[in-house]
Amino acid sequence: MAVLRAVALLLLAPLVQGLIQNIKARLQGRRGPSPLQPYFTLAKLWRRQDVRPAASSFLFVLAPRLALGLVLAAACAVPLFGGAPLGNAGDFVVVLGLLALERFVTGLGGLDQGTPFGGLGASRQAVVGALVEPAFFALALPFAARSGGTAWPGLMAASLQTPAAGAVRLFALAAGLIVLLAETGRLPVDNPDTHLELTMIHEAVALEYAGPQLALLSLAQMGKQLLAVAVAADLLLPWGATGPAGAAAAVGKWLALAATLAVAESLSAKLRFLRLPSYLGAAAALASAAAVLQVWGVR
Amino acid sequence: MSALLVLVLALIAFGAAAACGALLRPRLSAAASLLGSAALGALGAAGMAGARLRAALPLGLPPFALAWRLDALSGFFLLLLAVVGAAVAVYGYGYLAHAEPWKARSVSTFLPLFLAAMALVLLAEDAVAFLLAWESMSLASYALVMTDGERDEVVRSGFVYLVMTHIGGLCLLAAFLLLAGATGSLDFAVWAAAAPHVAPALRSAVFLLLLLGFGGKAALVPLHVWLPRAHPVAPSHVSGLMSGVMLKIAVYGLVLFSFRLLGPGPFWWGAAVLAAGVCSAVLGVLYAVVERDFKRLLAYSSVENIGIVAIGLGAALLGRSQGLVAVATVALVAALFHAAGHALYKTALFLTAGSLQHAGAGRDLDCMGGLLRRLPWTGAALLAAAPAIAGLPPFSGFVGEWLAYQSLLRLAHLGTTGTALLAFAGILGLALAGGLAAGTFIKAAGVGLLGRPRSAGAAQASEVGASMRLPPLLLVGAGLALGLAPGVLASPLASLAAGVLGGEAPGLGVRSAVLLALPWPGVRLAPALWPALAAAGALAAVAALALGRAARPAPAVRAPWGCGGTLAVQSQYSATVYAKPFRQVFGSVYRPVRALEVQSAVHPFFRTRVLYQGEITLVFERFLYAPAVSGLMALAAIARRLQSGSLRLYLGYMLAALVLLLAFAR
């Protein structure tokens, strides 16, 4: 069942991406593409020819497939649509580990291209990933400290016990917004719509891919985006997760978070790379402060 | 009794190996080392399974009878030593086949002695035996580091290593003398019984000295400066053995004393070890990520991993100081599990670095590239070991870090507020170190193996012999098996930790080999699940693509996008450029220094030459060691004034000393 939910998440991911693009376009004064556009793009890519650079090895070909498989596996480790993760052995640390492995594999695929842009993407993605990792963990810290572990039932129970509008929740929500923007590769960390290679972070590793492989890689990135949103929703907005309308509540929360991301992205300009540690450090500090408040409050 | 026979057999085997090495019979030497390692492995497995041995060998005067013992803790480390030692012995045979005869002789003689000395450190039950074995270990490793002693760089690095190891040894000696004076005996069993009742101030002083001594050998920051100097210059399999096992011997010493022999300690013991661990983990990997010398990168990565082990040990000490025995057990298991994984992967990585150097690709990552095609086996080993050492699933490093996270969170949940703050710092440090380690090894594997060759050496590299290809693959394979079925090691480690801490075994991993269940409710990990799912997902993607393959042509091979021109080989990303964002982002730690000089002819527009030099500041060498050394030299210059050369003045010194002693010796 958890596998089916994970596949459903992957199928829903392009719709969420299309929704974000649509909202951004409307905020820019345009009508924008239909929210279903990413599906058509994926279908178009599927029909095209595969290309690979002359100097590449099997890693170039393996990276998009493994990335998709890892996002699927990570999605099985998260409670989705109000259900439980696979075998009740899902864990927050496992999700972070699988996403880090996905970053590793796509980074190697980027370096395999033998171009400066592939290496540029791999290098910048590694730095952003290294800074996002503690910030993402810190996001779960208030609830993990309260429950004494990182298993999902404990985390969600601790989140339900935390006051809905208290300082802990507000700090965690602020940190969560920053972490989501960084993990999904949106402004102010990275510009997902840029065509200038020197300003790319996540898109540069995908530069040499075309056709079906690009479709797989794009689907993996969209799936990762929705997965990060789902994790944040489970941690920070746990109400209505279990119960009869769990699935509808979950989708509603995801759409609301996606809309928030689109608005937050439209309101910010791209940060200088030098400022990234301050930005993500602020997220980690906010979340740690929430954790400290949580620990003091419980004592 | 049979355990004693196995030990004697192992020691004889190592002695025979050393003799064969001295007589230039490398095949016999490798075989004897392999036999000795197998004997040690059997001993270690027996120790972990419950065999106990205690023997006293009278040597000289009766008060100095040397006591030896085998128990679960020394059995675990003996097993690590055996596995790594066997791999290194097999590798060394191929590695030295084309070396100069005197170097081959030197390494083949001292390597078995090094292995034997490390085994004796693990089995020592007596202060004298421990120090004798410790010193032999240091001297044997010094001789191995100085193998290429005709180069200045090697001599300087060896000197730094010798000085640092003896400073550590002196701290250990001081600690042992303090304890011996307080308890009246040199035997560890007597210390285990009597040390908890010694005055707290003395125990804390002993702990501090032991932390300095073992921490220096384990390369905890700020005592790590010898590691990045000694490891690149030693032969690769020796570096692998030093990083893989010798650092773990220091960890063994720390565990033995702080858990078994000294008894429960105050809060600051665990806090100090945890803080040292966090600093080592973060600073070690920060220096690794900007390094372009592959072996120095691996050395700094060892500092990082020892930091992670120290985080686990610190959490265990904190847990024990507050009576949380279950948490302390899991933290200790996390530390030991991570140590085992690191021993396997770091040795494999150093062996592949040696293979790359042997194949002609050198040590500099900026001159490698395209090696996955030319050296498929070595490349595969490096490609597999890279995510393993970065702590990524499905390898055992991830399981060790997962255990560490769970124990730190439980500590934060149940401990005091101060403990919770320390645990948060530990968790964030661990996460940052993990992220940076992933970045480091993308660089090492990606720049080294992928793309096009960046130098002639890399373009002409050829695969190494079978005895050099197999050991790294086997070590990484063992680590993968350990990551998929962690209960195989975690279960015995849990009983070991419970025995060391004095509680009953909390039932960690008893459920099955593939499912880890912690002693508190609801926290489980099934490490084999996730890679299976990922593989299934990847296969599904492959199948989906293959279904459409019949109607479509195969992937077209094209030149990559180069903004409209052809890309030169040098325009690929190199290790130095890859590290540039890290240098920028963490600039306050690195304090990079740049010098740019542009030479031109006739007019500044017509440039003839551009000289660029960039380097980072090594913070500890510049702000801690350089002032200390210059202060020491200044003191030595002052003391030199006492050496006037006049015999009468020297006789006067002796008379004055005699008079003072007679006056104050009442």
Q: How confident is the model at residue B415 (pLDDT cuts 50, 70, 90)?
A: confident
From chain A, the residues in CB contact with B540 under 8 A are: 69
Would the CB atoms of A133 and B577 count as touching at under 8 Å? no
pLDDT level of residue B524 (50, 70, 90 thresholds): confident
Mean pLDDT on A32-58? 90
Residue B123 and residue B69 in contact, taking contact as beta carbons nearer than 8 Å: yes
DSSP chain A: -HHHHHHHHHHHHHHHHHHHHHHHHHHTTS----TTHHHHHHHHHHHS--EEETT--HHHHHHHHHHHHHHHHHHHTS--TT---GGG--BHHHHHHHHHHHHHHHHHHHHTT-SHHHHHHHHHHHHHHHHHHHHHHHHHHHHHHHHTS-BHHHHHHHHHHS-TTSHHHHHHHHHHHHHHHHHTT-TTT--TT---GGG-SSSGGGTT--HHHHHHHHHHHHHHHHHHHHHHHHHH--TTSSSTTHHHHHHHHHHHHHHHHHHHHHT--PPPGGGHHHHHHHHHHHHHHHHHHHHHHH-
Quick check: B509 pLDDT over 60? no
B581 to chain A, closest Cα gap in Å: 7
- pLDDT at position B575 is 92
Interface ipTM: 0.95
The pLDDT score that the predictor gives to residue B660 is 92
The beta-carbon neighbor of A69 closest among B452, B534, B548 is B534
Contacts of residues B8-16 at CB distance under 8 Å and 24 or more positions apart, as own/partner, are: B9/B36, B9/B39, B10/B36, B10/B39, B10/B40, B10/B43, B10/B116, B10/B119, B11/B36, B11/B116, B11/B119, B13/B39, B13/B112, B14/B112, B14/B113, B14/B115, B14/B116, B14/B119, B15/B112, B15/B116
Question: Does one domain contain both B225 and B344?
Answer: no
Share of chain B above pLDDT 70, in %: 95
Q: Which residues of B touch A129 (CB under 8 A)?
A: 435, 438-439
What does the pLDDT look like over B392-405, one tens digit per residue? 988 999 999 999 99
- Give the separation between CA B224 and CA B302, rounded to whole angstroms: 10
Are B75 and B83 contacting, i.e. CB atoms less than 8 angstroms apart?
no
Q: Which residues pair with B556 in a beta bridge?
A: A51
Tokens of B131: 């120090």
Are B236 and B280 within one domain? no
Q: Say how far apart CA A126 and CA B577 lie, in whole Å.
A: 13
The predicted pLDDT at position A90 comes to 75
Give B512's pLDDT tier (boundaries 50, 70, 90).
low
Tell me which residue has tokens 């040795």. B347
Nearest to A299 among B417, B431, B434 (CB): B417
Give me the mean pLDDT over the B513-520 stretch. Answer: 72
Please give the angle made by the CA atoms of B37, B42 and B48, to the nearest 5 degrees. 120
Assign B460 to helix, strand or coil: coil
Summarize pLDDT for A268-295 with one digit per residue, the tens: 998 888 888 899 999 999 999 999 998 8
pLDDT in the model for residue B64: 67
The verdict on residue B530 lying in a domain is no
Residue A22: pLDDT band (50, 70, 90) is very high
Which residue of chain B comes nearest to A86, CA vs CA? B529
- Do B70 and B212 sit in the same domain of this protein? yes
pLDDT tens-digit readout, B496-508: 888 888 776 666 6
Q: How far is B365 from chain A (nearest CA, A)?
A: 13
Residues of B in contact with A148 (CB under 8 A): 409-410, 412-414, 520
Of residues A267 and B66, more confidently modeled = A267
Nearest chain A residue (CA) to B570: A116
Distance from CA of residue A36 to its chain's centroid? Answer: 20
Query: Which residue in the block uniquely carries the two structure tokens 């008894």?
Result: B263
| pLDDT tens sequence across B321-363 | 998 888 999 999 999 999 999 999 999 999 999 999 999 888 9
CA-based nearest residue in chain B for residue A49: B555
Q: Coil, helix or strand for B391?
A: coil
Q: Mind listing the pLDDT tens digit for each residue in B131-170? A: 999 999 999 999 999 998 899 999 999 999 999 999 999 9
Confidence of residue A243 (pLDDT cuts 50, 70, 90): low
Is residue B165 within 8 A of residue B185, CB to CB? The reply is: no
Kindly determine whether residue A150 and residue B431, on different chains, have CB atoms separated by under 8 Å.
no
Quote the number of domains for chain B.
Answer: 4
B419 shares its domain with B388: yes
Torsion of CA A171, A272, A106, B549, to 10 degrees: 110
Q: Nearest chain B residue to A126 by CA: give it.
A: B439
Q: How far is CA A296 from the centre of its chain?
A: 31
Mean pLDDT, range A129-153, rounded to an integer: 91
Shared domain check, B315 and B209: no
Q: Are A130 and B447 inside 8 Å of each other by CB?
A: no
My answer on whether B275 and B388 are in the same domain is yes
Tell if the CB–CB gap between A104 and B390 is shorter than 8 Å.
yes
* Residue B637: domain span: 623-664
Q: CB-based contacts of B521: which residues, under 8 Å, 6+ apart?
A: none
Assigned token pair, A195? 């065509």
Across B199-213, average pLDDT: 93
Alpha helical stretches, state H, B548-645: 575-578, 580-585, 587-590, 619-620, 626-640
CB contact under 8 A, A111 and B446: yes
Nearest-CB residue to B409 (from A111, A131, A144): A144
Does B87 have pLDDT greater than 80? yes
Residue-wise pLDDT for A106-116, tens only, equals 999 999 998 88
In this complex, the residue of A104, A123, A291 whose CB is nearest that of residue B581 is A123
Q: What is the domain partition of chain A in residue ranges?
A: 2-298
Q: Report chain B residues whose CB lies below 8 A from the CB of A92.
A: none
| Domain-located, residue B612 | yes
Please report which confidence band the pLDDT of residue B614 belongs to, taking 50, 70 and 90 as the band edges: confident
Question: Are B309 and B454 contained in the same domain?
Answer: yes
Q: Residue B555 is nearest to which of A50, A104, A145, comparing CB atoms?
A: A50
B572–A116 C-beta distance less than 8 A: yes
Partner-chain contact A119 B572, CB within 8 Å: yes
The closest of B196, B411, B253, B424 to B318, measured between CA atoms, is B411
Q: Do A89 and B525 touch (CB under 8 A)?
A: yes
- Residue among A147, A60, A69 at smallest CA distance from A107: A60
B562 vs A115, A138, A291: nearest CB? A115
Give the pairing type, strands A51-53 and B556-558: parallel
Q: Is B60 helix (H, G, I), strand (E, B) or coil?
A: coil
Residue of A nearest to B369 (CA): A114
State residue A245's pLDDT score.
77
Taking residue B488's Cβ as centre, other Cβ atoms within 10 Å add up to 15
CB contact under 8 A, A115 and B536: no
Q: Give the percent of chain B with pLDDT over 90.
A: 56
Q: From the list B392, B424, B537, which residue is nearest A101 (CB)?
A: B392
What is the band of B264 on the pLDDT scale with cuts at 50, 70, 90?
confident
Tokens of B296: 């120095």
Cross-chain Cβ contact A115/B559 below 8 Å: no
Q: A–B: how many Cβ contacts below 8 A?
A: 283
pLDDT at position A86, please? Answer: 77
Q: What is the token pair recorded at B60? A: 């000289």
How does the average pLDDT of chain A come out, rounded?
Answer: 90
Of B246, B245, B236, B338, which Cα lies nearest the Cα of B294? Answer: B236
pLDDT surpassing 80 at residue B223: yes
Query: Which positions in chain B touch A221 (Cβ < 8 Å)?
Result: none
Q: Decide if A149 and B410 are in contact by the 8 Å CB cutoff.
A: yes
Q: What pLDDT does B59 receive? A: 60
Helix (H) or strand (E) segment spanning residue B66: strand B66-70
Model confidence at B513: pLDDT above 70? no
> Mean pLDDT for chain B?
89
Residues B150, B156: Cα–Cα separation, whole Å: 11
Mutate to test the interface with A, among B450, B576, B588, B590 (most CBs of A within 10 A): B450
pLDDT of residue B62: 62
Query: Quick one: pLDDT at residue B516?
Result: 75
Q: Provide mean pLDDT across the span B442-468.
A: 90
Q: Is the pLDDT of residue B375 over 60?
A: yes
Distance CA(B410)–CA(B415), nearest Å, equals 8
pLDDT computed for residue A298 by the predictor? 67
Angle, to 10 degrees, between the axis of helix B26-49 and the axis of helix B72-95?
160
